[in-house]
């Protein structure tokens, strides 16, 4: 077993009872509002389990909303190019990581790490910062490389032949190597774990410097993401209060809200560093594709990158407000696949084990949305995402060492678990955890440390059969 720093809170007064009560409370909400246990997301639930399971419209959308939804979906799938052409919209670059949203969020699902050590990162990105904070209390960008390493650019090689500007160098080439270790269950069975080591080659603008912090991130699945925006802040804070009573330390992130120009509760991203979907879309456009907008007008060209600053301008803004609004409605209007196998005895046993092992303290089984003006049908819906949207210290084994607003170097936002069992079918891969290191649910659980140490240990002590039931349950969510 890898060594994890043991939780500071080891004196837990009989943890099991309150956990079961919390889980039972959550179940009670579920039963009040929705008798059918397969309804993951109330009236947004669909019975579709193929590669389109995460990208279909909820049936409750009006025809007009459906039209905007479809427009948003096509912007999400759109290829950006360096000139106006039939196969792309002008706006890509000068530096970027991918040329469309869907290159990373495959079929609105998750990304995957490169297959070999000679292949560059594609659906993953590397965040960057230096010690200190920016003017809003967020990470401080690197003076020569900004807040993210861009491994592709309009260099006349990897993109449109028609590009007429001077070739712009990429910032660096990004590869992963893997370090293996072995973990053992209490019954003696062993599992090989792997941890990525980022390999940065051909840095074009000097060394990063010893105090530069990097954080590797896997593209997250987007299933049901509108529900996470529609949960009232009070609900999230009240979950944090309940967790404190159980000696857990879930905390909301407080981050800069570029749309409303104030600090807001962070909800999106692996460290909950983005408060709303509109900002997330515009930040992804500029950060990942070099597509500017009214919200982020500046291209990503730190002063030393002079060729970057000299490239031909696209149409400003490269992504217009109407398109961002359409992508926003598309994200909010996505249907969520129904739960599978709810009547299976093993899956039901797995659900009990999930509550007993305290998984449900952080991966909260049920929440209810509040009033949601942008898409009224999302209001007042009970849903089962299995997240609390809170940050937790998951220990040294998963730490990236890079703070992000209120998120510390070992903190991560509990990811939603719904749809996880369909990952392979939807996106062709099941790379779990923030950097895609876990190849299945077992590995993901074994990496839990910090506040989740007891939960991991409960799993390690289970029999092979019990572990199987727990995993079957997780994959049925």
- What number of residues does the chain have? 477
Q: Does 227 bind ligand HEC (CB under 6 A)?
A: no
Q: Does 453 bind ligand HEC (CB under 6 A)?
A: no
Residue 61 C-beta: closest distance to ligand HEC, Å: 18
Q: Does 418 bind ligand HEC (CB under 6 A)?
A: no
Please compute, for residue 401, the number of CA atoms within 13 A of its CA located in the half-sphere on the CB side.
8
Pick 175 or 459: Cβ nearer ligand HEC = 459
Q: What would the two tokens of residue 184 be?
A: 């053992």
Among 19, 83, 213, 327, binds ligand HEC (CB under 6 A): 327
Whether the CA torsion 292, 294, 295, 299 is positive or negative: it is positive
Among 213, 359, 378, 462, binds ligand HEC (CB under 6 A): 359
Pick 295 or 445: Cβ nearer ligand HEC = 445
Q: Does 58 bind ligand HEC (CB under 6 A)?
A: no
Pick 160 or 323: Cβ nearer ligand HEC = 323
Among 434, 460, 467, 472, binds ligand HEC (CB under 6 A): 434
Do 363 and 459 contact (CB within 8 A), yes or no?
no
What one-character-per-residue DSSP string does 172-231 give? -EEEEEEEEEEEE-TTS-EEEEEEEEEEEE--TTS---TT-EEEEEEPPP-TTHHHHHHS
Tell me the Ramachandran region of residue 206: left when phi exceeds 0, alpha when psi lies from -120 to 50, beta otherwise: left
Q: Does 467 bind ligand HEC (CB under 6 A)?
A: no
* CA proximity to 173, closest of 199, 148, 146, 154: 199
Residue 188 C-beta: closest distance to ligand HEC, Å: 20
Pick 83 or 361: Cβ nearer ligand HEC = 361
Q: What are all long-range contacts of 152-157, with beta carbons under 8 Å and residues at least 24 apart?
A: 152/95, 152/96, 152/97, 152/98, 153/93, 153/94, 153/95, 153/96, 153/308, 154/82, 154/92, 154/93, 154/94, 154/95, 154/311
Among 329, 375, 455, 477, binds ligand HEC (CB under 6 A): 455
Q: What would the two tokens of residue 45 be?
A: 């639930």
CA distances to 57, 247, 368, 438 from 422, in Å: 17, 33, 23, 16
| Footprint (CB under 6 A) of ligand HEC, residues 371-410 | 392, 394, 398
Among 69, 80, 227, 459, binds ligand HEC (CB under 6 A): 459
Do 124 and 199 contact (CB within 8 A), yes or no?
no
Among 257, 451, 466, 475, binds ligand HEC (CB under 6 A): 451
Among 19, 23, 26, 98, binds ligand HEC (CB under 6 A): 98
| Footprint (CB under 6 A) of ligand HEC, residues 267-326 | 268-270, 277, 280-281, 284-285, 288-289
Residue 263 C-beta: closest distance to ligand HEC, Å: 18
Tell me the Ramachandran region of residue 217: left when phi exceeds 0, alpha when psi lies from -120 to 50, beta otherwise: beta
Binding-site size for ligand HEC (CB under 6 A) equals 55
Q: What would the two tokens of residue 291 be?
A: 């597509």
Pick 42 or 221: Cβ nearer ligand HEC = 221
CA distances to 199, 210, 249 from 202, in Å: 10, 17, 41
Residue 287 C-beta: closest distance to ligand HEC, Å: 8
Among 22, 41, 81, 104, binds ligand HEC (CB under 6 A): 104
Residue 35 C-beta: closest distance to ligand HEC, Å: 26
Rounded to whole angstroms, the Cα distance separating 282 from 273 reads 14
Among 214, 358, 442, 476, binds ligand HEC (CB under 6 A): 358
Among 23, 30, 101, 338, binds ligand HEC (CB under 6 A): 101
Q: Does 46 bind ligand HEC (CB under 6 A)?
A: no
Do 84 and 90 contact (CB within 8 A), yes or no?
yes
How many helices (H) and strands (E) the chain has is answered by: 14, 17
Q: Does 231 bind ligand HEC (CB under 6 A)?
A: no
Q: Does 109 bind ligand HEC (CB under 6 A)?
A: no
274 strand-pairing partners? 268
Rounded to whole angstroms, the Cα distance separating 452 from 446 reads 10
Judged by the rule CB under 6 A, the positions of this chain that interact with ligand HEC are 76, 97-98, 101, 103-105, 123, 125, 217-220, 222, 225, 248, 268-270, 277, 280-281, 284-285, 288-289, 327, 331, 354, 357-359, 361-363, 392, 394, 398, 412, 414-415, 417, 420, 432-434, 441, 444-445, 448, 451-452, 455, 459, 474
């Amino acid at each position: 077993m890898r060594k994890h720093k043991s939780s500071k809170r080891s004196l837990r007064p009989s943890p099991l009872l309150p956990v079961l009560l919390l889980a039972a409370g959550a179940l009670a909400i579920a039963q009040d509002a929705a008798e059918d246990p397969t309804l993951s997301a109330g009236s947004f639930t669909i019975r579709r389990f193929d590669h389109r399971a995460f990208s279909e419209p909820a049936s409750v959308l009006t025809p007009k909303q459906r039209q905007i939804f479809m427009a948003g979906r096509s912007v999400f799938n759109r290829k950006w190019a360096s000139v106006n052409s039939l196969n792309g919209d002008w706006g890509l670059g000068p530096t970027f990581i991918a040329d469309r949203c869907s290159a990373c969020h495959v079929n609105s699902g998750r990304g995957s790490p490169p297959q070999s050590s000679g292949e560059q990162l594609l659906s993953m990105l590397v965040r960057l910062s230096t010690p200190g904070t920016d003017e809003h209390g967020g990470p401080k960008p690197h003076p020569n490389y900004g807040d993210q390493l861009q491994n592709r650019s309009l260099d006349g090689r990897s993109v449109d032949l028609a590009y007429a500007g001077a070739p712009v160098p990429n910032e660096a080439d990004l590869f992963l190597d893997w370090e293996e270790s072995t973990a053992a269950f209490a019954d003696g069975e062993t599992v090989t774990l792997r941890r990525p080591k980022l390999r940065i080659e051909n840095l074009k603008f000097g060394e990063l410097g010893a105090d530069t912090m990097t954080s590797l991130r896997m593209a997250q699945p987007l299933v049901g993401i509108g529900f996470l925006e529609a949960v009232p802040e009070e609900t999230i804070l009240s979950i944090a209060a309940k967790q404190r009573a159980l000696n857990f330390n879930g905390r909301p992130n407080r981050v800069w809200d570029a749309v409303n120009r104030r600090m807001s509760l962070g909800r999106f991203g692996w460290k909950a560093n983005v408060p709303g979907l509109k900002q997330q879309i515009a930040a992804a456009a500029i950060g990942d594709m070099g597509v500017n907008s009214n919200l982020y007008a500046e291209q990503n060209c730190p002063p030393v990158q002079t060729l970057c600053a000299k490239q031909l301008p696209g149409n400003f803004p490269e992504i217009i407000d109407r398109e961002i609004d359409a992508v926003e409605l598309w994200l909010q209007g996505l249907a969520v696949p129904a739960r599978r196998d709810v009547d299976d005895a093993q899956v039901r046993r797995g659900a009990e084990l999930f509550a007993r092992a305290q998984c449900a303290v952080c991966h909260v089984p049920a929440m209810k949305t509040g009033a949601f003006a942008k898409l009224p049908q999302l209001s007042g819906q009970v849903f089962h995402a299995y997240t609390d949207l809170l940050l937790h210290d998951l220990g040294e084994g998963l730490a990236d060492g890079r703070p992000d607003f209120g998120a510390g170097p070992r903190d991560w936002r509990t990811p939603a678990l719904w749809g996880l069992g369909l990952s392979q079918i939807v996106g062709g891969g099941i790379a779990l955890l923030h950097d895609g290191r876990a190849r299945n649910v077992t590995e993901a659980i074994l990496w839990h440390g910090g506040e989740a140490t007891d939960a991991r240990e409960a799993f390690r002590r289970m029999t092979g059969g019990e572990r199987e039931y727990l995993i079957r349950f997780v994959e049925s969510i």
